[in-house]
Amino acid sequence: MMRLACCTALLFVLRLLVGLPWYQVLPAILIFYLGSGGWNFLDIFAKTVGRDLHAASVLLRVKLNVRRHLREKNTIPKIFAETVHRHGDKTALIFEGTGERWTFRQLDEYSNRVANLLLERGFKEGDVVALFMENRSQYVGIWLGMAKIGVEAALINFNLRLDALVHCVTISNAKAVIFGSELTDDRLFYIYTSGTTGMPKAAIVVHSRYYRMAALVYYGFRMTSDDVLYDCLPLYHSAGNIVGVGQCLIHGMTVVIRKKFSASRFWDDCVKYNCTIVQYIGEICRYLLNQPVRDTERQHRVRMALGNGLRQSIWEEFMNRFNIPQIAEFYGATECNCSLGNFDNKMGACGFNSQILPFIYPIRLVRVDEETMELIRGPDGVCIPCKPGEPGQLVGRIIQNDPLRRFDGYVSQTATNKKIAHSVFKKGDSAYLSGDVLIMDKYGHMYFKDRTGDTFRWKGENVSTTEVEGTLSRLLDMKDVVVYGVEVPGAEGKAGMAAIADPSHSTNLEKFVKDMEKALPPYARPVFLRFLPEVNKTGTFKFQKTELRRDSFDPSAVSDRLYFLDSSKGRYVQLDEELYRSILSGKCKL
């Protein structure tokens, strides 16, 4: 009776708060009621109902706003015009590098000048211009000015080199390149994602997607326009440019832009500019914890750290040492339709999916071969949902006419097709494949599990193993090369390691390093090398990486030649037991 009473109460709350008709919520609640067990249901209900109702109201609010903007044909520049009207003389952007402050009106005027200049030069709606520049206020003003006249910006990672740089500009069909004077030497919009090494993919960001990503974070984590956000992330990535700068353009928040992250200056900046929200990626948190204790790290007004990738092992230490009440961890790629948010400050979780309102947001963990990331299907051909505690790939049902569930894909149709699977939730449907393995507890909290597939993170960037393998193979005259990530104690993410088939010991390491520096950005270069007679393959000619990862870079476990990329010397040095212990202890920096 208690379960039925709870379900009935929830039905009325949903109808009143969220506005959903009874026939949409009653079947799911009844199914859950019948399939759940007594006190277990009460426990889940009591601990998640507040969180889930908040999430439902956020989703509804964002969906209604997106639909209104689509109906009224409101682009980001039009929404920004409303923001300027409300906050004209308020500080919009602060560039830490110079201390220069731009009001919303000044940002508007600067972007207008950019738009007029482009029009004078003959650019028109639909044209693409590549933006190759380090973080600064002008970066925002330039792409905003482009958007005002319908010119699409291709935001290029300023770490890219040669082939990868040419590739990014080429696939965008850019008619021109705007670049910062700091990049004169060769070293809305499209955001290049999921492999910012080798040959990246250009994810399409339409106006409604930009709004959706910024608004879900804003409302989900209860931000206000009075907050001051510290943004030290690259503006060519969605985290810095949408999740961060988007709060300025759409919601009237002041955003402090830093040219480049500095662990030693981080808290000083927060105090100086009265920041209340800071952005992070997991690596940043570890770098801050490795800094010596200083007074400013607890003298700030920061109430929330917003980002992704904070490891559970340092989560509590980070909150306690720096006196930060809330960790606003979220999960979601630029192009995905299955974003998650840790709205209830659950330690270690990257988000959640409702267990009492599963129909509100159609995402799911499904069984998968973690090595190949191949979906495991049941006798009916449909994917098998994971149970609590069972790892699986996160997927999101694609519904193109739903602003929260659509998938815009990439400039490349081939790349788009690779991220879509069919008959996932039911026969004949379509779903987005995140490519990431997560685990869910009984309350619906999702926890990230490092995937063992073709991508890992290092130095805050995604490293695509297949793309690096192709690049290194070309540099090594088509030798077999396997690239994978290995864990290093005290280091965030995974360091790149390459196993190279070289039975004749013919590799010229000095030449290899010089060629690699031209072809790959620093974070994509393998930290460790392993030379062996041959690289084992499966029956379908796929490289076997499981044993290689398990061996890692331990010279006592590996009889093959091992090398370490000594950044201080700019070359690979042989990895022996003494050097191995030095790396493990943290004396030798990566």
Mean pLDDT of the chain: 87
Mean pLDDT of 271-289: 92
Burial class (CB in 10 A: 0-12, 13-18, 19+), 504: exposed
> Where does the pLDDT of residue 385 fall: very low under 50, low under 70, confident under 90, or very high at 90 and above?
very high
Q: E strands within 105-224?
A: 128-132, 152-155, 176-179, 189-193, 201-204
More confidently predicted of 48 and 41: 48
> Where does the pLDDT of residue 77 fall: very low under 50, low under 70, confident under 90, or very high at 90 and above?
very high
Tell me the per-residue pLDDT of 193-211, one tens digit each, with 9 for 90 and over: 644 444 567 777 889 889 9
Q: What is the pLDDT of residue 200?
A: 64
Mean pLDDT of 496-515: 91
- The answer to whether 287 touches 258, Cβ cutoff 8 Å, is no
pLDDT at 382 over 50: yes
In angstroms, rounded to a whole number, what is the distance separating the alpha carbons of residues 256 and 240? Answer: 11
Exposure string over 144-171, b if 16+ CB within 10 A, otherwise e: bbbbbbebbbbbbbbbbbeebbebbbeb
> Where does the pLDDT of residue 74 fall: very low under 50, low under 70, confident under 90, or very high at 90 and above?
very high
pLDDT at 569 over 50: yes
Burial class (CB in 10 A: 0-12, 13-18, 19+), 11: middle
Q: pTM for this one?
A: 0.78
Which residue is associated with the tokens 């080429």? 170
- The answer to whether 466 touches 496, Cβ cutoff 8 Å, is no
Region of poorest pLDDT, from 36-40, 53-57, 252-256, 307-311: 36-40
Give kind and range of the element (H or E) at residue 254. Answer: strand 254-257
Q: What is the pLDDT of residue 465?
A: 82
Q: What is the pLDDT of residue 5?
A: 54
Please tell me the class of the 453-583 domain: alpha beta
CA nearest 108: which of 76, 130, 133, 136? 76
Q: What is the pLDDT of residue 195?
A: 46
Which residue is associated with the tokens 């770490």? 159
Task: Please spell the DSSP secondary structure of 276-292, one letter per residue.
Answer: SEEEEEHHHHHHHHTSP
Q: What is the pLDDT of residue 286?
A: 84
Exposure string over 391-408, b if 16+ CB within 10 A, otherwise e: bbbbbbbbeeeebbbbbe
Q: What is the pLDDT of residue 187?
A: 35
> Where does the pLDDT of residue 173 fall: very low under 50, low under 70, confident under 90, or very high at 90 and above?
confident
Q: Where are the domains of the chain?
A: 1-35, 38-72+355-398+406-446, 453-583
Q: What is the pLDDT of residue 438?
A: 93
CA nearest 243: which of 273, 223, 267, 260? 223
Q: What is the pLDDT of residue 137?
A: 96
Q: What is the pLDDT of residue 189?
A: 60
Maximum average pLDDT range among 127-136, 170-179, 458-467: 127-136
Q: What is the pLDDT of residue 19?
A: 56
Region of poorest pLDDT, from 9-23, 64-78, 327-341, 434-448: 9-23
Maximum average pLDDT range among 17-26, 154-163, 436-445: 436-445
Percent residues over pLDDT 90 in the chain: 57
In angstroms, rounded to a whole number, what is the distance separating the alpha carbons of residues 51 and 42? Answer: 15
Give kind and range of the element (H or E) at residue 458. Answer: strand 455-458
In three-state secondary structure terms, 35 is helix
Tell me the per-residue pLDDT of 417-475, one tens digit each, with 9 for 90 and over: 999 999 999 999 999 999 889 999 999 999 987 544 567 888 878 787 877 888 898 88
Specify the CATH number of the domain 38-72+355-398+406-446: 2.30.38.10
CA nearest 225: which of 340, 56, 84? 84
Residue type, position 214, single letter: A
Residues 6+ apart with CB under 8 A from 85: none
> Where does the pLDDT of residue 541 fall: very low under 50, low under 70, confident under 90, or very high at 90 and above?
very low
Mean pLDDT of 234-244: 93
Strand order across the beta sheet in which 128-132 lies? 176-179, 128-132, 152-155, 189-193, 201-204
> Where does the pLDDT of residue 27 fall: very low under 50, low under 70, confident under 90, or very high at 90 and above?
low
Give the chain's end-to-end CA distance (angstroms, integer).
Answer: 60
Tokens of residue 179, six digits: 């670049």
Q: What is the pLDDT of residue 198?
A: 43
- The answer to whether 491 touches 590, Cβ cutoff 8 Å, is yes
pLDDT at 29 over 90: no
Percent residues over pLDDT 70 in the chain: 87
Residues 6+ apart with CB under 8 A from 390: 365, 367, 439
> Where does the pLDDT of residue 185 fall: very low under 50, low under 70, confident under 90, or very high at 90 and above?
very low
Burial class (CB in 10 A: 0-12, 13-18, 19+), 389: exposed
In angstroms, rounded to a whole number, what is the distance separating the alpha carbons of residues 391 and 245? Answer: 34
Q: What is the pLDDT of residue 450?
A: 56
In angstroms, rounded to a whole number, what is the distance separating the alpha carbons of residues 347 and 316? Answer: 7
Mean pLDDT of 239-267: 96
pLDDT at 104 over 60: yes
Mean pLDDT of 336-359: 91
pLDDT at 182 over 70: no
Count of beta carbons in the 10 Å neighbourhood of residue 466? 16
Residue type, position 377, single letter: R
Strand order across the beta sheet in which 561-566 lies? 481-486, 495-501, 528-532, 561-566, 571-574
Region of poorest pLDDT, from 215-219, 290-294, 446-450: 446-450
Q: What is the pLDDT of residue 409?
A: 86
Region of poorest pLDDT, from 15-29, 161-175, 388-402, 539-553: 15-29
Q: What is the pLDDT of residue 214?
A: 95
Q: What is the pLDDT of residue 48?
A: 93
Which residue is associated with the tokens 């832009």? 257
In angstroms, rounded to a whole number, what is the distance separating the alpha carbons of residues 196 and 462? Answer: 6
Largest CA distance in the chain: 76
